[in-house]
Amino acid sequence: MVTIESTPEMAANVYETMARNLTIVRRRLGRPLTLADKVLLGHLDDPENQEIEPGKSYLLLHPDRVILQDVLGQTAMLQFMQTLRRKSPRPPLSTATISSRRESRASLTCHQSLQENQEVYDFLRSAAAKYGAGFWGPGAGNHSPGGCWSITPSLAN
């Protein structure tokens, strides 16, 4: 399975690529960049040739990481299967949240939720390994209002 933790080397590569891209974009636009410009245009796939006309251009981006939470992770993995992909084009991170549901004034306990959703967690874990994605299982994130631990990873990368 793919390493999902950020490393100093990964961060250095991300910042180096963004700095290189933004130098090109600044030269092309001939103006200072806003924070939104930096976040989006720093991830351009081809900053030298990308059309960058506000409100008209479709940007071809090269994200460093894609985080897929809950059903989005399942959907992406099923799409990889349907399109016969061998590997993810980017290293996604598939996450699972402990689900709690309401049943006439009572909710599932964390333990019950883990048992009820184990098949989903097993699928995400094995599909992530097959397609080169990382996987954070339930319990690896922050605390949710229902009293269970859920996944809400930081987008700090």
What are 34-47's pLDDT values in tens digits?
999 999 999 999 99
Q: Name residue 150's amino acid.
A: S
- Distances in whole angstroms, Cα of residue 132 to Cα of each of 5, 109, 119, 128: 14, 32, 20, 6
Q: What is the mean pLDDT of residues 76-105?
A: 67
**pLDDT at 157 (0 to 100):** 33
Query: What angle separates helix 71-82 from helix 118-131, to the nearest 10 degrees?
Result: 50
> Cα–Cα distance between 46 and 50 in angstroms, integer?
6
Q: Is the dihedral of CA 103, 107, 112, 118 positive or negative?
A: positive
**pLDDT at 139 (0 to 100):** 67
In terms of pLDDT, which residue wins out, 138 or 49? Answer: 49
> Which residue is associated with the tokens 């940007």?
59
What are 99-134's pLDDT values in tens digits?
544 444 445 566 777 788 888 888 888 888 888 887
Percent of the chain with pLDDT over 70: 70
Torsion angle of the four alpha carbons 70, 73, 77, 80, in this order, in degrees rounded to the nearest 10: 150
Predicted structure pTM score: 0.60
Assess whether pLDDT exceeds 90 at residue 4. Answer: no
Q: What is the mean pLDDT of residues 12-33?
A: 95
